[in-house]
Amino acid sequence: KQEVTQIPAALSVPEGENLVLNCSFTDSAIYNLQWFRQDPGKGLTSLLLIQSSQREQTSGRLNASLDKSSGRSTLYIAASQPGDSATYLCAILRADKLIFGTGTRLQVFP
Amino acid sequence: GAVVSQHPSRVICKSGTSVKIECRSLDFQATTMFWYRQFPKQSLMLMATSNEGSKATYEQGVEKDKFLINHASLTLSTLTVTSAHPEDSSFYICSAEENRGQPQHFGDGTRLSIL
């Protein structure tokens, strides 16, 4: 059974810090990997999508990497801001289904 | 961008009531829609996949008679929680994809509370 885990489960940092969120998965046979943001009581906002053939994707202050062979992905957030506070979920696409990780709850305080 | 509207955003009702949740793709036709369930501080778990005009495919452990899914058109899927009980209280989120394999677009979720 494919499992997706995220470390840390929660993170609280002061504004301005650079952050690394980790995602690991047990089966390397994935189609792609996505990082999402979820605000409290809300749905999901897609941040970055990395195809299985790619190694990384960048959008603004966000950079996501993918290492299929080791079953790992990282989301790097540069110069964090209070507005970045949310839960971050990674998800792999395998057999036409998204399998979500357990999430990292991020709080950035001023 | 692609927008998925989910309604209602919050429902509070008595035990034994049936509750219907709607998921609409507003600016694209969704060949496939997905229904997820999320418990507090946990991740999303796929409940079922629905394709327009055909029966939904349920994940293992999800009661199809409890969670009725209808995907009558390319822009609308509904989830009906029948005879809801407190243990059905959860956050339900739908998503839709225009074509198989393309990124899913998510609704804002429905908070269901059964008293």
- More confident of the two residues B41 and A60: A60
Residue (of B104, B96, B94) closest to B37 by Cα position: B94
B75 touches chain A (CB under 8 A): no
**SS3 call for A82:** helix
DSSP A41-78: T--EEEEEEEETT-SEEEETTEEEEEETTTTEEEEEE-
B103 contacts in chain A (CB < 8 Å): 34, 46, 49
In total, chain B counts a number of residues equal to 115
The reply to whether residue B43 touches residue A96, judged by beta carbons under 8 angstroms, is: no
pLDDT digits (tens, 9 = 90+) for B75-90: 999 999 999 999 999 9
- More confident of the two residues B64 and A31: B64
B43 touches chain A (CB under 8 A): yes
First CA to last CA across chain A, in angstroms? 41
How far apart are alpha carbons B17 and B78 in whole angstroms? 16
Residue (of A103, A104, A85, A105) closest to A15 by Cα position: A85
pLDDT digits (tens, 9 = 90+) for A30-60: 889 999 999 988 889 999 999 999 999 999 9
Q: Is the pLDDT of residue A2 over 70?
A: no
Chain B residue with Cα closest to A6: B43
pLDDT at residue number B68:
96
B106 contacts in chain A (CB < 8 Å): 36, 43-46
The reply to whether residue B100 touches residue A31, judged by beta carbons under 8 angstroms, is: no
Check: CB of residue A91 under 8 Å from CB of residue A32: no
What is the C-alpha R_g of chain A?
Answer: 13
The reply to whether residue B109 touches residue A41, judged by beta carbons under 8 angstroms, is: yes
The reply to whether residue B34 touches residue A102, judged by beta carbons under 8 angstroms, is: no
